Amino acid sequence: MTAPGHAGDQRLAALTEQVVASFAGASSPRYRTVMQSLVRHLHAFLAETSITEREWEQGIEFLTRAGHITDDKRQEFILLSDVLGASMATIAINHPGTDLGVTESTVLGPFFADASPRAGLGDDISGGAVGQPCYASGTVRDVAGRPVPGARIEIWEADADGFYDVQRAGGPVANRAHLFTDDQGGYRFWSVRPAPYPIPHDGPVGDLLTAAARGPMRPAHIHFMVSADGYQRLTTHVFADGDPYLGQDAVFGVKPSLIRTFARHPAGVGPGGRVLDTEWSDVEFDLVLSPNRPA
């Protein structure tokens, strides 16, 4: 195929304007803006790459495969958004960062589940998941350093084999819970030391990574989602210092401010008087919430 010549360029420009104009009557101005921009960028992308008909078909086949593999347990479109950096770009646009010390946001990922069990402060939320015991604690504060009591923290994490509970069909809830901060904004729980793991890569997104000579690994992390009245919801992770994949996260989610030391301790008595007959770890991760945007 050859690049369109002058007449072809004009035809394409006229087509683009015709499609853009077809959204002019949309009742929602925001929908109109988004769709008209999408059409302009999509047409520009097709022109810039001189896309062939076979390549366009392959793109549609890819999206069809992504649709077929997606169900209530497997979300290939979130994975696609993640590996293309679109999830992190959306976060960058909506949480541009402040110099007020607000904890940075990162990807939600596909393994969050509503309706997690409630845990008490200091409970073990591992649900029997494989892995070395790990104690996590910290505080939730506002930008003035005041504690946020009663903040709801959702926690979810893969086990030492790299699987989330929802990836184990029929398995128990494990490494997943929500809890509420105490009067000093404090939280604490036991789970397992996080390990690096691959994002699901047995589908079209895995093929995309392979074709790009990219790996599927994510560095070890624990997910947190924190909500409290008067504050923006925070979706973030704590990452483990020293992880070999910190510089090559498949979904571009690492921010240096979110990396902490997961200190290792010999068997003995741990926080809360827990007796441990194996090595265990602990990590401290304080969270700072941003106030709600004015309405």
| Binding residues vs ligand BEZ (CB under 6 A) | 79, 82, 107, 109-111, 199, 218, 251
Residue 22's nearest CA partner among 3, 43, 7, 5 is 43
- Decide the pairing of beta strands 259-260 and 234-240: parallel
Compute the least distance from the CB of residue 154 to ligand BEZ, in Å. 13
Q: Which is nearer to Fe ion, 102 or 222 (CB)?
A: 222
Q: How far is the CB of 273 from ligand BEZ (least distance, A)?
A: 32
| Alpha-carbon distance values, 128 to 1, 5, 192, 274, 279 (Å) | 58, 65, 9, 16, 16
Q: Which does 251 bind (CB under 5 to 8 A by kind): ligand BEZ, Fe ion, none?
A: ligand BEZ
Residue nearest to Fe ion according to CB distances in the complex: 109
Within the chain, residue ranges assigned H as helices are: 6-21, 29-48, 53-69, 76-83, 86-94, 204-211
Q: How far is the CB of 164 from Fe ion (least distance, A)?
A: 7
String marking each residue 100-139 x if it binds Fe ion according to CB under 5 A: ---------x------------------------------
The Cα 158–Cα 245 span in angstroms is 16
In the list Fe ion, ligand BEZ, none, the entry touching 199 (Cβ below 5 to 8 angstroms by class) is: ligand BEZ
Q: Pick left, alpha or beta for residue 97 (phi over 0 → left; psi -120 to 50 → alpha; otherwise beta).
A: left
- Residue 188 touches which member of Fe ion, ligand BEZ, none, C-beta under 5-8 Å by kind: none
Cβ distance to ligand BEZ smaller for residue 110 or 133:
110
151 binds, among ligand BEZ, Fe ion, none (CB under 5 to 8 A by kind): none
Instruction: For residue 263, count other CB atoms closer than 10 A to its CB.
Output: 13
Which residue in this structure is represented by tokens 């989330």? 164
| Residue/partner pairs of 23-26 with CB below 8 Å, 24 or more apart | none
Q: Which two tokens stand for residue 10?
A: 């004009």
Using the minimum distance from each CB to ligand BEZ, give the nearer residue, 107 or 136. 107
Residues 6+ apart with CB under 8 A from 69: 76, 203, 204
Residue nearest to ligand BEZ according to CB distances in the complex: 109
In the complex, minimum distance from the CB of residue 199 to ligand BEZ, in angstroms, rounded to a whole number: 4
Q: Could you tell which of ligand BEZ, Fe ion, none binds residue 176, using a CB distance below 5 to 8 A set by kind?
A: none
Least distance (Å) between residue 221 CB and Fe ion: 6
By beta-carbon proximity to Fe ion, the closer residue of 109 and 133 is: 109
What distance in Å separates the CA atoms of residue 278 and residue 137, rounded to the nearest whole number? Answer: 20
Shortest approach of Fe ion to residue 153 CB, angstroms?
16
